[in-house]
Amino acid sequence: MTNLTIKIGQTVFKNPVFVASGTFGYGTEINDLTDISALGAIITKSITLHPREGNPPPRTIETLGGMINSIGLANMGVDNYIRDMLPLYHQFPTKIIVNIAGSTMEEYLQVLKKFESVSSNITGYEINISCPNVKEGGMAFGVNADFTARLTEQLRSLTQRLLIVKLSPNVTDITQIGKAAQRAGADAVSAINTLVGMSIDSTTRKSNIYTTYGGLSGPAIKPVALACVHKLFLKLKIPVIGIGGITNVSDAIEFALAGAVAFQVGTANFRDPDIGRKIVYELDDYCTQNNLKYSDLKGQVIRYQ
Amino acid sequence: MTNLTIKIGQTVFKNPVFVASGTFGYGTEINDLTDISALGAIITKSITLHPREGNPPPRTIETLGGMINSIGLANMGVDNYIRDMLPLYHQFPTKIIVNIAGSTMEEYLQVLKKFESVSSNITGYEINISCPNVKEGGMAFGVNADFTARLTEQLRSLTQRLLIVKLSPNVTDITQIGKAAQRAGADAVSAINTLVGMSIDSTTRKSNIYTTYGGLSGPAIKPVALACVHKLFLKLKIPVIGIGGITNVSDAIEFALAGAVAFQVGTANFRDPDIGRKIVYELDDYCTQNNLKYSDLKGQVIRYQ
Amino acid sequence: MINESGRIISNLKIASNIWRLDIQLPQIVAKRPHPGQFVELLIDRSFAKPLRRPMSIAGYTADVLSIIYKTFGEATRILTTKIAGDFIDVIGPLGNYFELIEDDYSTPVLIAGGVGIPPILWLHQELNRQKQKHFLIIGARTKAEHFITPDNENTLLTTDDGSLGIKGTVIPVLKKIISNVVGTRIFACGPEPMLKSIQKIALATKQPAQLSIESHMACGVGLCQGCVIKRRNYQETEHSYQVKYVLVCSDGPVFKAGEIDFD
Amino acid sequence: MINESGRIISNLKIASNIWRLDIQLPQIVAKRPHPGQFVELLIDRSFAKPLRRPMSIAGYTADVLSIIYKTFGEATRILTTKIAGDFIDVIGPLGNYFELIEDDYSTPVLIAGGVGIPPILWLHQELNRQKQKHFLIIGARTKAEHFITPDNENTLLTTDDGSLGIKGTVIPVLKKIISNVVGTRIFACGPEPMLKSIQKIALATKQPAQLSIESHMACGVGLCQGCVIKRRNYQETEHSYQVKYVLVCSDGPVFKAGEIDFD
Ligand SMILES: Cc1cc2nc3c(=O)[nH]c(=O)nc-3n(C[C@H](O)[C@H](O)[C@H](O)COP(=O)(O)OP(=O)(O)OC[C@H]3O[C@@H](n4cnc5c(N)ncnc54)[C@H](O)[C@@H]3O)c2cc1C
Ligand SMILES: Cc1cc2nc3c(=O)[nH]c(=O)nc-3n(C[C@H](O)[C@H](O)[C@H](O)COP(=O)(O)OP(=O)(O)OC[C@H]3O[C@@H](n4cnc5c(N)ncnc54)[C@H](O)[C@@H]3O)c2cc1C
Ligand SMILES: Cc1cc2nc3c(=O)[nH]c(=O)nc-3n(C[C@H](O)[C@H](O)[C@H](O)COP(=O)(O)O)c2cc1C
Ligand SMILES: Cc1cc2nc3c(=O)[nH]c(=O)nc-3n(C[C@H](O)[C@H](O)[C@H](O)COP(=O)(O)O)c2cc1C
Ligand code: FES
Ligand code: FES
């Protein structure tokens, strides 16, 4: 499977197939149903300074070709995570990227500092500046280039590890935010987080989500994600990690052609927790048959103009 | 069907079921397949100052639960339109709302002036400040509140007819643009236009759209549209016309509950050009059975918080 | 939990809108599931409906697992089109189950309504097999919704409109049993309003009760954190995790009446 | 054009990946469609694939219209699952058609490949019925793709790999006919590269040619303006509309070789 290895910053991954934050737990729940050692990396669900219960139910609803979620960053908090989870990652069969969220710049910094203060073999951080589901959930950073730059800069100064900034599609120009992250020293950006969406039950007239709005994900948003990835690819020098509606090997190829160096599988894990591993194998077949490396496809979409 | 009548500004429509710009031609092409007299209104495709050929093919591609288009505002131009089409609307069985697009403020103004300078029975204008498919296609206005306000103000000063501003979802905060339109005197806003999207053929590696990016529409985007409509409903005093992925009576009810006074059917016309008429009849049944008027549902979604 | 592609043995309509699906699933059946556990079915081949659908296990024999399902929307409609010989992708067994703690005095009272009937029927069969005396109360709006025939005088059907069995909901029947029988244990599955009323009575009369509840599940296996329900008595703290909410898919779907809060 | 829900009479596999679908469509058939015209089928009940699919009419008898289709992606796969008795929603007849201008000298040469075969076969049958001498050339990559047996010596099959009929593409065969026969008229339908080569030859040898072309259609009825192809000789002006582009669904799908520009 050597044709699948990819490099982001200084880090080499065995393949470009990652699982997206919030859709694979902490990477330790689902051993029965898949072989996580096949994956290029696992992005943990967002970790915040304090434990969080998350939003009241209902938290999820299916939509055509996708789903809306409003989990509200439910998580055990950084201290519990460091105590209970980090030891499990010792000699883990795949790379762990810790996703960090916060409501103030200080919170992001503190979480990262705590991680840096202990010895662990986590590979790096994905900074969630784009969660649409909590008022304080970083959206204020994610839609503002200055905030993004300042936050990234501070985080950069605290770690040598891989630093990925996860971007929101709910902005007028995602490349402005991406450029700010790049300027401030991010090793890569990942795109996209969910789109703001709403769902109503026409029979009961109730909102299907407690918080009224939630984040839309799944195949329905793939075209939006591809456009964001391609725009970022054209405007940035740092690598772009593609996310949004990926369910099979053909999607994986499309994201590479659009400019992604690697990609994350999100909602599709709920349908098939083994889907990431399957994509790894199919992608390997594809690369072998076509005698190319996955990274050869990067940005190679043939355009008319 | 009295329970379906609705009012926007001073204009009464026989029902809230409109067909969306660009998805129903000029309203004169499709008599064989439906009865246009059933519709509340027809929004014409965008009309510009000069005739436009539109973009080179490929212009459309299907995606999961939707499609991407990049027609590029192909249209006969205002002069031909006034000469050839306006006479056909004389004693037309439904209301015509003319959709106007332009690449400069001056172009919008000129098109509207031309319409105002001739006698006709068009009901009003929908101003497309949100077409993602042409570089000069109004997107510059649609993503900027100041531009939107200035354009709307000028247009307002030129007409007493119904003035609707059509909003783009490709912005950080759609309510800011909506408020600008309201402040400047628009009678209503309509939302949403298409989302920027991209599609790639993984086999040929080609972009499926000549212009690389196009506008995503159809059921896939309904959750995004509902969120935009509801946010606008909460923040604006003028009525909101809902657009995005509507295919049946249940969608029509959801948009009312989210706050829409009326709605437009777009992509669904391509699947079934008779869908608008069908929704009118089903909506009438629904209102009769539930003993209510469509407008009673406006904004009545039951929220948890 | 196991992910297994099972051959459909039969898929039959057994009442108006109610179907019974038998699937050959040797590996999942080998886990010896219990009443209350469920599976996640991958129904829609296209991604129009991307999520699996949770369905209670209604029993099993040899290597065949049964589901009883009601047609609601698109996924269950598609499910009715599957025929013997088709394959369907199933994850299970999932969740916890009704605990039949052996004691020598209290009488089990089983209560079900709607799509909650299948697991309770299975529990009823288990208790019959164990020759344990118990009550079974099944509620419905009207006659047409009932699809079982009582096998003895302790099986009681109710209909809101009185078209079959006892007129009214299951609640008065439950109350009567509680006041006539010394010591009951309640096992219930059904619509939320029914469970809420049962919870109230159980707590007021101090009868132990196990309630199997539903919530919207995106994954069914503990990955998404979507399926939460509020705990009843939790220590409110400024910062906590899984103190206020529990996961229905992994911590449930069966909860003690005192554990959860429907509001 | 008419929107009609038709009962499927049969849906049969006639070659590898090739199916023939017969639908009872009395109203559409009553319009007496011509070879070259097409219909728009609503295939996917769910909105996963929201758009209809354009398919050429392959002929009709009494009130039954035939389609011959190749399985490509999801919609054509779903189409194969339809069985006799199912209903399918059809809009048609759509588009223009091959014009069989009567003249007493030129010999029709019909050329087809891929999904372009059905309308050309129908045209071939029409010419046979009219007892008009003509050539029919059908190209394929390999033997397995061919599903017709030549009915006389003027029907010529080609395969790229020589596994059946003449080895090579249809182009050398066409060239030979043009140079041997005084006066031909070409009717062609097939993949774009094939049509492009035919166009080149037709223009170079000044043989009249009608080419039926495909483009991605969102509506098929003139509403979306999506299906355009460039005209060959148009007056470039600063501002124009439908001078540079024509609609394949309404102005076509059949164009004269001199009218359109594939690049
Ligand atoms: C633990 C559990 C056990 C269940 N057991 C049974 C059973 O034995 N028999 C049976 O008929 N039904 C059962 N259900 C309900 C069943 O999952 C829904 O009826 C089914 O998902 C409806 O799908 P649909 O597409 O036909 O309808 P939809 O139109 O999608 O929805 C109809 C109803 O089903 C609910 N629903 C839809 N998707 C989900 C989901 N992913 N998770 C939970 N609820 C959903 C919706 O909220 C709605 O109220 C169970 C649900 C849960 C959570
Ligand atoms: C005028 C016309 C006549 C046709 N006649 C026939 C015929 O007689 N027999 C036959 O087998 N096929 C015919 N086709 C092609 C047929 O429409 C496609 O094969 C079919 O749409 C494939 O759908 P799918 O979902 O199976 O494949 P997809 O996976 O959707 O696509 C496979 C191929 O079909 C093309 N396609 C998909 N959707 C459309 C669309 N809405 N419009 C045009 N092309 C599309 C795609 O570009 C792609 O190349 C015709 C097309 C046109 C335009
Ligand atoms: C249930 C759910 C929970 C999520 N939680 C997080 C999260 O905690 N942090 C984060 O950065 N993204 C989160 N996401 C977003 C995903 O990581 C991903 O960006 C998004 O779902 C788009 O990818 P997809 O279409 O493949 O799902 C969540 C998504 C879902 C569906
Ligand atoms: C093929 C196509 C052409 C369109 N052309 C226009 C246009 O000319 N002007 C405009 O304001 N909107 C145009 N739109 C946008 C629609 O009016 C509508 O806002 C959008 O498609 C969302 O609605 P839907 O999901 O119901 O299609 C077009 C949409 C499509 C699909
Ligand atoms: S359904 Fe996903 S965690 Fe319970
Ligand atoms: S396919 Fe819509 S105009 Fe031709």
Euclidean distance between CA atoms B83 and C166, whole angstroms: 74
One domain for residues C138 and C81: no
pLDDT value at A193 more than 90: yes
Q: Is C50 in the pocket of ligand 1 (CB under 6 A)?
A: no
By C-alpha distance, the chain D residue nearest A65 is D48
Q: Which of B172, B211, B220 sits opposite A220 (nearest CB)?
A: B220
Q: pLDDT tens-digit profile of A104-122? A: 899 999 999 999 999 898 9
Q: Is C118 in the pocket of ligand 1 (CB under 6 A)?
A: yes
The residue type at C223:
L
Instruction: From the options 2.40.160.60, 3.60.15.10, 2.60.40.1840, 3.20.20.70, give the CATH code of A6-55+71-196+216-297.
Output: 3.20.20.70
Q: Which chain C positions have a beta carbon within 8 Å of B65's beta carbon?
A: 48
Compute, in angstroms, the gap from residue A87 CA to the centroid of ligand 5: 25
- The pair of structure tokens assigned to D113 is 């490949």
**What pLDDT was estimated at residue A23?**
97
Cβ atoms of B74 and B59 within 8 Å: the answer is: no
Give strand pairing partners of B43. Answer: B97
Query: Residue ranges of the alpha helices (H) in chain C?
Result: 26-30, 74-80, 117-129, 170-180, 192-205
In whole angstroms, how far apart are CA B181 and each of A294, B108, B152, B167, C16? Answer: 47, 15, 6, 9, 53
| Residue A228 bears catalytic tag | no
One domain for residues D123 and D192: yes
Cβ atoms of B192 and B223 within 8 Å: the answer is: no
**What pLDDT was estimated at residue A132?**
60
**What pLDDT was estimated at residue B135?**
56
User: Taking the model in full, what pTM does it have?
Assistant: 0.96
**What pLDDT was estimated at residue C50?**
96
Give the residue among D127, D35, B256, D40 at the shortest CA–CA distance from A200.
B256
Instruction: Tell me if D102 is assigned to some domain.
Output: no
Give strand pairing partners of C246. Answer: C229
Q: Which chain D positions have a beta carbon within 8 Å of A65's beta carbon?
A: 48
Q: pLDDT tens-digit profile of B46-92? A: 999 999 999 999 999 999 999 999 999 999 999 999 999 998 888 78
One domain for residues C77 and C173: no
Q: For atom 48 of ligand 1, which residue has the closest CA?
A: C72
Euclidean distance between CA atoms B44 and B245, whole angstroms: 18
Give the residue among A150, A21, A1 at the shortest CA–CA distance from A75.
A21
**What pLDDT was estimated at residue D164?**
86
* Residue ranges making up the domain that contains C9: 2-94
Binning pLDDT at 50, 70 and 90, where does residue A77 land? Answer: very high
Euclidean distance between CA atoms A62 and C216, whole angstroms: 9
DSSP state of A145: H
Compute, in angstroms, the gap from residue C40 CA to the centroid of ligand 4: 38
Tell me how many degrees the CA angle A252-B66-B253 measures, rounded to the nearest 5.
Answer: 135
**What pLDDT was estimated at residue B72?**
94
One domain for residues C30 and C154: no
Q: pLDDT tens-digit profile of A1-46? A: 668 999 999 999 999 999 999 999 887 778 889 999 999 999 999 9
Mutate to test the pocket of ligand 1, among C18, C51, C72 (most ligand atoms within 8 A of CB): C72
Q: pLDDT tens-digit profile of B25-53? A: 887 778 889 999 999 999 999 999 999 99
Q: Which chains sit next to A, with 3 or more Cβ pairs under 8 A? A: B, C, D
Nearest ligand 6 atom to the CA of D217 is: 1
Mutate to test the pocket of ligand 2, among B59, B60, B62 (most ligand atoms within 8 A of CB): B62
One domain for residues C179 and C239: yes
**What pLDDT was estimated at residue A272?**
96
**What pLDDT was estimated at residue D146?**
85
**What pLDDT was estimated at residue A88?**
86
**What pLDDT was estimated at residue D3?**
96
**What pLDDT was estimated at residue C101?**
77
Instruction: Tell me if C23 is assigned to some domain.
Output: yes
Total domains present in chain D: 2
One domain for residues D33 and D59: yes
The residue type at D121:
L
**What pLDDT was estimated at residue C236?**
77
Nearest ligand 1 atom to the CA of C57 is: 8
Euclidean distance between CA atoms C114 and B298, whole angstroms: 32
pLDDT value at C75 more than 90: yes
Q: Which chains sit next to D, with 3 or more Cβ pairs under 8 A? A: A, B, C
Domain with residue C53: its CATH number is: 2.40.30.10
Residues 6+ away with beta carbon under 8 Å from B160? none
- The pair of structure tokens assigned to A249 is 């090997």
Instruction: Tell me if D151 is assigned to some domain.
Output: yes
Q: Of B131, B163, B253, B287, which is the active-site residue?
A: B131
Last residue of a domain, one of D35, D68, D94: D94
pLDDT value at C185 more than 60: yes
ipTM passes above 0.90: yes
Last residue of a domain, one of C48, C70, C94: C94
**How close, in Å, is residue A277 to chain B by CA atoms?**
20
**Which residues line the pocket of ligand 5, CB cutoff 6 A?**
C 217-220, 222-227, 247, 249
pLDDT value at B138 more than 80: no
**What pLDDT was estimated at residue C114?**
87
Instruction: Tell me if D101 is assigned to some domain.
Output: no
**What pLDDT was estimated at residue D104?**
65
Cβ atoms of C75 and C217 within 8 Å: the answer is: no
Q: Which chain C positions have a beta carbon within 8 Å of D49's beta carbon?
A: 46
Q: Give the 3-state secondary structure of residue A62.
A: strand
Q: Strand D209-212 relative to strand D254-256: parallel, antiparallel, unpaired?
A: antiparallel
**How close, in Å, is residue D105 to chain A by CA atoms?**
44
In whole angstroms, how far apart are CA D77 and each of B45, B203, D7, D17, D44? Answer: 34, 18, 19, 10, 10
Interface mutation target, options B69, B141, B207, chain A, most CBs of A under 10 Å:
B207
Q: Which chain D positions have a beta carbon within 8 Å of A64's beta carbon?
A: 47-48
One domain for residues D34 and D130: no
Q: For atom 20 of ligand 1, which residue has the closest CA?
A: C53
Q: pLDDT tens-digit profile of D21-51? A: 999 999 999 999 999 999 999 999 889 999 9
Q: pLDDT tens-digit profile of D112-144? A: 998 999 999 999 999 999 888 999 999 999 888
Instruction: Tell me if C101 is assigned to some domain.
Output: no
Q: Which chain C positions have a beta carbon within 8 Å of A65's beta carbon?
A: 47-48, 50
Q: pLDDT tens-digit profile of B125-134? A: 999 997 665 5
Domain with residue D236: its CATH number is: 3.40.50.80
Instruction: Tell me if C61 is assigned to some domain.
Output: yes
By C-alpha distance, the chain B residue nearest C47 is B64
Instruction: Tell me if C102 is assigned to some domain.
Output: no
Among B77-81, C17-21, D24-28, D100-104, which is the least confidently predicted range?
A: D100-104
